[in-house]
Every structure is written in C-alpha cells, then in structure tokens.
Amino acid sequence: MGLSFQEKSIWGTLVITLTAYGYYCLRLFGVTTGEPSREIGSLLIGVLTAIVVAEILYHIAIAIPSAKDEIELQGDERGKLIQHRAQSWGGEVLGVFTIMAIGRILIQDAFYPPVDIMLVANILIGGFVCAEVTKCTMQLILYRRGV
C-alpha cells in the first residue's frame, strides 16, 4: 500500500524541518566571530527561506503525479480529526517551550541581568521546531494506526 498525498506531505515536511534546523543548530554552535546576533539573524532568515522554497518545490513534485481525487480528500473528516489531534500535541510542546523561555527571562533578569535575548529566541525557535516535529510524528502515527 502506497502513501497517500497527506502522508507524503507530512514526511516531506518532517524531513525538511529536521534537515534545515539541524543545519541551523550545527551552524549556531560555530558562530563566534563578529556580531553574533547579526550572524544568527541572517542564518535564521536563510534557513527559513530555504524551508519555504523546499516545501513549495516538494509539494509541487508530489502533487503533479497525485490523482485529483486524492488531493481533494484533504478535507475529509478523518483527516481533519487527525490534524486537530496532532496540532493539539504540538501546541502542548510549544507551550512548554514558551514557559521555559519566559522562565529564562524572569530568572536571568532577576539574578543575572541583562537578558540574553538570542538565547530566549533560540529557545522559542526550538519550541516551534519541536512542536512541528511532534505534530508531524503524531499525524503519521494516527494515519497509520487509524482514528
């Protein structure tokens, strides 16, 4: 049994996200010269641009050979339920990272000012990535297991 359009889309998003942010993390640890916040900012913009372009090209590539009927099934009730449940899990993960970032701001401001805003930004970026990975993983599990 082949993968549906939705599953191909999720797998692509998962691989692109992990690859792009894996690259971002590897490069992030190497940023030591010049203005770190400027280098990190330009690196992040480059990674986000690459993700958008890769997602567009990937989805075009998988949509062309897919049957019209299969693409139209994206709005079916089972798919909506799976997406809702997976987004719920992703939201929980994002909430944890947001609380961690706020806690970091409060603790650092109280005991070790000034606040390292790039660290807080990277905690939030990590939260977005982990939430997306969680959402994609849960969608794949729910599509395979069934709802």
DSSP of 79-135: HHHHHHHHHHHHHHHHHHHHHHHHHHHHHHHHHSPSP-HHHHHHHHHHHHHHHHHHH
% of the chain surpassing 90 pLDDT: 50
Listing DSSP states for 21-88 in one string gives HHHHHHHHHH--SS-HHHHHHHHHHHHHHHHHHHHHHHHHHHHTTS-HHHHHGGGSHHHHHHHHHHHH
Asked if 71 and 6 count as a contact pair (C-beta separation under 8 A), the reply is no
pLDDT tens, residue by residue, 85-123:
999 999 999 999 999 999 999 988 888 778 778 888 889
At residue 85, the pLDDT reads 93
Q: At what angle are helices 77-111 and 117-145 packed, to 10 degrees? A: 160
At residue 131, the pLDDT reads 96
The 10 Å CB-count burial string (b at 16+, else e) for 86-120 is bbebbeebbeebeeebeebbeebeeeeeeeeeeeb
In whole angstroms, what is the distance from residue 114 CA to residue 116 CA?
6
At residue 88, the pLDDT reads 94
Residue of higher predicted confidence among 145 and 130: 130
Band of residue 77 on the pLDDT scale cut at 50, 70, 90: confident
